Structure formats: structure tokens, C-alpha cells
Amino acid sequence: MRKLIIAIDGPSGVGKGTVARAIAAELGYRHVDSGAMYRAVGWKALQLGVRLDQEDTLSGLATDSTIEISATLVAIDGTDITRAIRTPEIDKAAAAVARLPNVRAILVGRQRRLGLDGGIVMEGRDIGTVVFPQADLKLYLDASVEERARRRASDSAHSGPVALAEVATALKARDQSDSTRAASPLYAAADAVVIDTTGTPVADVVAQVMALVKTLLIAE
């Protein structure tokens, strides 16, 4: 049976990671958080004191860095940064790095290579629109800012402000940055299935996605 490419896009806090990991586990596919690559580059830039608007330097940094991503690990040049990249500071760094066309081109190339043979569930903000426009299934998850702020504030994987108002403000700023950038802005692909996860249990979202996957597999 042919292995599918499943693209999951959407803003922060909609449950992309949770849903993507669950779908990958159900299918025995690889799960890739594409955003972790941008976070890794942003983290390394901060460690080296590189300004986040120095596109040429950051492009070279992205090219020369070895980034490893698995279900449980994010590492750059052999350093485990799984926890270190889940902070408000790295949120901002990743957003800045993601606005740079040359850096995006480098990382998109790596992401595409990971999905060459299918059998992958990749999450991000431009997976169905840029990375895999030919994906077998494109999903766009969304939720209210209030819901997303509640989830992010209670997510132990992210450190940062606990006040909901502060979290919501940070999410809105990231949304604005992602949706207005010139390179690969965030939006739902025309052929994506849009799912609003507001108030919906994760298990229900996963069941809805798996029903779509099974329909595709049956049609093969």
C-alpha cells in the first residue's frame, strides 16, 4: 500500500503537534515538526550572537548546521535542544528566522527530502501550500485565540508567561508575523480540509482525520 504524505498546517496552539503525533502513531508514519527546524536555527543564532535580520549569515548557519528531529528529540550539531527551544524568546526568534526567504528555502529543501518516500505526517505553517503542495491529505487546524491561549498556558512543554492575556497577546503577534510575511505566509491551502478544534477533544479531531485517511487508502 502506498505511503501517504499528510500535511497539517495552522497557527500556534491549535493542537497540530498532538494531532500529528497521534495520526503518525496510528499509521506507523514518521512525524516531523517543521517548526522545530526554525526554532533550532533561531536558538543557534542567539547562542552565537547573530542578529536575526542578518539573512546571509543565517542562511549560512542553516546550511552548515546538522539538525536532527525525531518524536522525542530536537538537536542541532549534536546538542539536545528539545526543551531549550520551547520558550517565548525562541518563539520570537523562530518567527524572525521564518520571515527570511533564503533560510526558508534551505529548510524547505530539507523538509521535502524527509518526505520523498511518503509515510510522513508533517506539521507547520506552509506544509500544504509550499513544502508538499502535492500532499495526499492537507489539513488546516484552527481555534479561537482564547482557546489557544488556554492550551498554551497549560502546556508543560512551553515555558513562559502564565497569564492568559499575555499568552493571547503573544499568539496574536505570532499570527500577524506568520500571515503577513512575504515568504510562505500562513494560510489554508485551497484544497485543505479546515478543522476548527475549539472545544473539541483531541480524540475527536484524530478520529475525524483518520476517517479522511481511511477514505484515501480505500480509494487506492
Indicate which CATH number applies to the domain containing 137.
Answer: 3.40.50.300
CA angle 93, 98, 103 (to 5 degrees): 110
pLDDT at 160: 55
pLDDT at 46: 98
Helix (H, G, I), strand (E, B) or coil at 103: helix
Half-sphere exposure of 117 (CA within 13 A, CB side): 2
- Give the chain's residues under pLDDT 50: none
Q: Is the dihedral of CA 55, 59, 65, 69 positive or negative?
A: positive
Q: How many structural domains is the chain composed of?
A: 1
pLDDT at 166: 85
| Sheet strand arrangement including 120-124 | 30-33, 120-124, 5-9, 137-142, 193-196
Give pTM, 2 decimals. Answer: 0.92
d(CA 50, CA 57): 8
pLDDT at 2: 83
Question: For residue 130, what are the domain limits?
Answer: 5-219
